[in-house]
């Protein structure tokens, strides 16, 4: 789960990291009221889960209520790379004398934690990595040992930050490390990490991605409640299905994440595009197929549905019965193509046979099923 900037800052504040005072609002009126409490000048910041907010006009400085009202009006509803701004973060403006970059993430290759620190902040770290790779100070941390203060200091010194803030930077980065590990984040990033004219080190932005698998040991209900999902993603989330919404016209249901991914691939190879990724998982409960089919059929993009099942321990006839049970319970608008293979595939196909027609078709292989589904979608 990716957090909005303001949520990331709330989390950082819990770990003692210095962030600017501010408030999250959803209306122009609330923005102006919040600015009064926060104190002018304020920065009006669009809360969207995409980079490049500043360039898109989503971050503006306001010196007074008129300016705040004007900016809030312009930014609310703004489309930033397809993300519509619904929330604003109003924070007290900071004076900046230097901008740095700091982050912790997992190096999957080294299987260690990985910290990056640079005196060149405020720009994309990928750009720094390309243009001036030596400007990034890197550290690998063994998860068993954790980050020691001495290691952290060496790392800071290697980054060649302003020498006067070394101690503060070490303290802040130790806290950021705690937030990264104890907070169960996949990414904890501050860009820019600023130094103010009076020499204070301060997190001016926050980019945090939480590890959804660790939700059981945290109270993330408030973060969760603010997640923006489209209708289909919300429905899938409530039905506990592994779902990703896409833009194509062939709805996909497969059992297994790998098979679902490869189903997208073969639909593409057949000249079509998938409307979604959906892993229905193991088992063959009719309820699961009802949920999956309903979500897909309610998607206005969908013109045909491709159910791709490989029977393992769950046998073909169980899956066939689950699908037939689901189709008896609900009315599906789009035509369905089924590919059923693996354990007891023949028995499963025999169960499907009497139900076949224009609305429900069967294909012997994954590729043929994909071609058929693509053809139906283009009709």
**Catalytic residue IDs:** 101, 189
3-state secondary structure 273-328: CECEEEECCCCCCHHHHHHHHHHHHCCCCCCEEEEEEEECCCCHHHHHHHHHHHHH
* Pairing of β 98-107 and β 88-92: unpaired
175 touching other proteins, by CB under 8 A: no
Q: Which of 144, 150, 163, 221 binds other proteins (CB under 8 A)?
A: 144
Give the whole-angstrom CA distance, residue 215 versus residue 238: 16
CA 353 vs. chain centroid, Å, equals 41
356 touching other proteins, by CB under 8 A: no
Bridge partners (DSSP) listed for residue 190: 102
Give the whole-angstrom CA distance, residue 379 versus residue 359: 13
Beta carbons within 8 Å of 111's beta carbon, 6+ residues apart: none
Burial class (CB in 10 A: 0-12, 13-18, 19+), 105: middle
Residue closer to other proteins by CB (options 164, 213) is 213
346 touching other proteins, by CB under 8 A: no
130 touching other proteins, by CB under 8 A: no
Residue closer to other proteins by CB (options 65, 122) is 122
342 touching other proteins, by CB under 8 A: yes
366 touching other proteins, by CB under 8 A: yes
208 touching other proteins, by CB under 8 A: no
Instruction: Name the minimum Å distance from CB 374 to other proteins.
Output: 13
47 near 22, Cβ under 8 Å? no
Give the whole-angstrom CA distance, residue 344 versus residue 171: 61
Give the whole-angstrom CA distance, residue 62 versus residue 73: 12
Q: Which of 55, 108, 164, 357 binds other proteins (CB under 8 A)?
A: 108
219 touching other proteins, by CB under 8 A: no
15 touching other proteins, by CB under 8 A: no
Residue closer to other proteins by CB (options 157, 244) is 244
Give the whole-angstrom CA distance, residue 108 versus residue 180: 15
Size of the site for other proteins (CB under 8 A): 52
Q: Which of residues 258-277 bind other proteins (CB under 8 A)?
A: 258-262, 264-269, 273-274, 277
347 touching other proteins, by CB under 8 A: no
373 touching other proteins, by CB under 8 A: no
135 touching other proteins, by CB under 8 A: no
Helix (H) or strand (E) holding 152: helix 149-158
Instruction: Please report, as ranges, the residues that interact with other proteins according to CB under 8 A.
Output: 106, 108-109, 111-113, 126, 142-144, 181, 184, 186, 211-214, 216-217, 242, 244, 246, 254-262, 264-269, 273-274, 277, 279, 282, 310-313, 341-343, 365-367
């Amino acid at each position: 789960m990716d957090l909005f900037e303001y949520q990331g800052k709330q989390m950082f504040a819990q770990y003692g990291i210095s962030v600017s005072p501010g408030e999250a609002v959803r209306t122009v009126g609330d923005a102006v009221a919040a600015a009064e409490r926060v104190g002018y000048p304020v920065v009006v910041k669009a809360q969207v889960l995409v980079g490049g907010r500043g360039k898109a006009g989503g971050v503006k400085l306001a010196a007074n209520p008129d300016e705040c009202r004007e900016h809030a009006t312009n930014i609310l509803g703004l489309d930033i790379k397809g993300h519509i701004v619904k929330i604003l973060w109003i924070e007290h403006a900071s004076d900046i004398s230097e901008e740095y970059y700091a982050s912790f993430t997992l190096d999957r290759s080294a299987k260690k934690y990985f910290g990056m620190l640079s005196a060149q902040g405020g720009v994309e770290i990928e750009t720094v990595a390309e243009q001036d790779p030596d400007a990034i100070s890197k550290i690998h941390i063994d998860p068993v040992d954790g980050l020691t203060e001495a290691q952290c200091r060496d790392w800071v010194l290697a980054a060649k930050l302003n020498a006067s803030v070394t101690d503060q930077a070490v303290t802040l980065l130790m806290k950021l490390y705690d937030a990264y590990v104890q907070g169960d984040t996949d990414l904890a990033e501050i860009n820019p990490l600023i130094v103010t004219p009076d020499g204070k080190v301060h997190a001016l932005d926050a980019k945090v991605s939480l590890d959804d698998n660790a939700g059981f040991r945290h109270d993330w209900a408030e973060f969760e409640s603010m997640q923006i999902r489209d209708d289909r993603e919300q429905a899938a989330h409530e039905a506990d299905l592994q779902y990703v919404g896409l833009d194509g016209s062939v709805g996909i249901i497969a059992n297994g994440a790998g098979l679902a991914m490869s189903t997208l691939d073969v639909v593409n190879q057949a000249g079509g595009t998938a409307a979604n990724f959906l892993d229905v998982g193991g088992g063959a409960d009719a309820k699961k197929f009802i949920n999956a089919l309903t979500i897909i059929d309610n998607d206005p993009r969908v013109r045909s549905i491709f159910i791709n099942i490989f029977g393992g321990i769950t046998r073909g006839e169980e899956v066939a019965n689950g699908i037939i049970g689901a189709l008896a319970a609900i009315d599906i608008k789009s035509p369905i193509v089924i590919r059923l293979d693996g354990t007891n595939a023949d028995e499963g196909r025999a169960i499907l046979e009497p139900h076949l027609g224009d609305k429900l078709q069967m294909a012997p292989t994954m590729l043929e099923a994909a071609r058929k589904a693509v053809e139906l979608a283009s009709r």
